[in-house]
Structure 1
């Protein structure tokens, strides 16, 4: 094996590790921002929900972009559809209690799946980056030994330099893998905690819905904006 292909292989491994590092830190930043925003929105919605005077008043709250709010909206929508539907097929054969729990479970599953997005990439990078670095080191050592073979001297100064440079790839691979593994473990814990919060809220929601007879008022459309008096008079004379 000549030196040129070996050098390209080592450089390719190093560039692949650079790509891994960029992807890792991009995912860390994006997931951290998403987690912080979701936590803040959940706190705001939860405070507003429990501050409502009744279950019916809580149904009017806007829970957009909040995992807890979206869970509550799913529950309210399920109860409204149960009131509006008169079908007798399998889809509507559930009791109100079972229908509500079914929709809440589905929403929790969907929320967990969204929160887990990107974690498989972090796990893959954390497990493969050291081996990519080791792969580059192996070919780097082959290149170094080949160069030493063709040199006239085999002293420690000649051997240590190329071997040391080859070992850099392994160090870079480990440096890329450590943040990926730590971030993966951290976000997995965050996902479990968020799922536990959703499960707890769903249990409380079912209890409140049971006290309300599993009924909520129909969604009221937003009123149309009132015309200004001047525009009304102009329309009258038109």
Structure 2
């Protein structure tokens, strides 16, 4: 019962989290594409904390905060791009931010995995216990009547149902959320490449 209640609570919480992730990322990308200054995007990224892409942009902005005029020029399509060393530093910052975002999105998923794998065995243990109780009743009464067997069999079936009732939602929820994490990991990888290309494009033009 404990595993079932906690699993359902986590499934609801994670579903709500990923809903906010999707909504805030949509809002961030709208600002990112329309804004003419990085400070505008930076301001949006600070507010949209559930968006992984917003947090990546925030990390990149913080990395070049010492030379904000360079970032302004890059976004204005001038010929003053970031140096190779600076681009590498931004890349490292983006990778660190992406790893943190993946860890945040994966939070609590190990509990669902544990529930999915452990509760069937807990249910099986209860099943065996119930069957043992049924046989004990038969031995004590010297009879295999329904009145003697039914309580133990009932306990066994309840234990089986409880184990499956906790495991099935946990398996479904875990697989779904793992796929969502993979999806956002791919999105972050693509955004990282896009942002690095944006920052290096003027330097490439100059060369």
- Shorter-chain TM-score: what band? 0.7 to 0.9
Show the counterpart of 1:71.
56
What do residues 176-227 of structure 1 show as CA deviations (whole Å, max 9, x unaligned)?
10000110000000000011111111111111111355xxxxxxxxxxxxxx
Counterpart mapping for 1:159-238 below 5 A:
159-211=149-201
5+ residue gaps, structure 2: 69-83
Query: Structure 1: how far apart are the matches of 2:125 and 2:188?
Result: 44
Query: Structure 2: how far apart are the matches of 1:104 and 1:191?
Result: 17
Secondary structure, counterpart of 1:163 in structure 2: helix
Shift of 1:158: 3.6
Equivalences, count: 187
Counterpart mapping for 1:126-145 below 5 A:
126-145=116-135
4+ long deviations beyond 4 Å: 57-60
Query: Structure 2: how far apart are the matches of 1:179 and 1:203?
Result: 36
Counterpart mapping for 1:18-57 below 5 A:
18-53=1-36, 56=38
Which structure has the highest helix share of the two? 2
Query: Structure 1: how far apart are the matches of 2:34 and 2:99?
Result: 27
TM-score (normalised: structure 1): 0.72
Query: Structure 2: how far apart are the matches of 1:163 and 1:57?
Result: 68
1:155 to 145, 158, 162: 145
Query: Structure 2: how far apart are the matches of 1:144 and 1:155?
Result: 10
Answer with 1 or 2: which has the greater Rg. Answer: 1
Cα RMSD over matched residues? 2.2
- Whether the 8 Å CA contact 1:129–1:174 is kept in 2: the answer is yes
Shift of 1:60: 4.2
1:62 to 32, 44, 58: 44
Secondary structure, counterpart of 1:61 in structure 2: helix
Secondary structure, counterpart of 1:117 in structure 2: coil
Show the counterpart of 1:11.
none
Query: Structure 2: how far apart are the matches of 1:57 and 1:212?
Result: 19
Query: Structure 1: how far apart are the matches of 2:130 and 2:90?
Result: 61
Shift of 1:61: 3.4
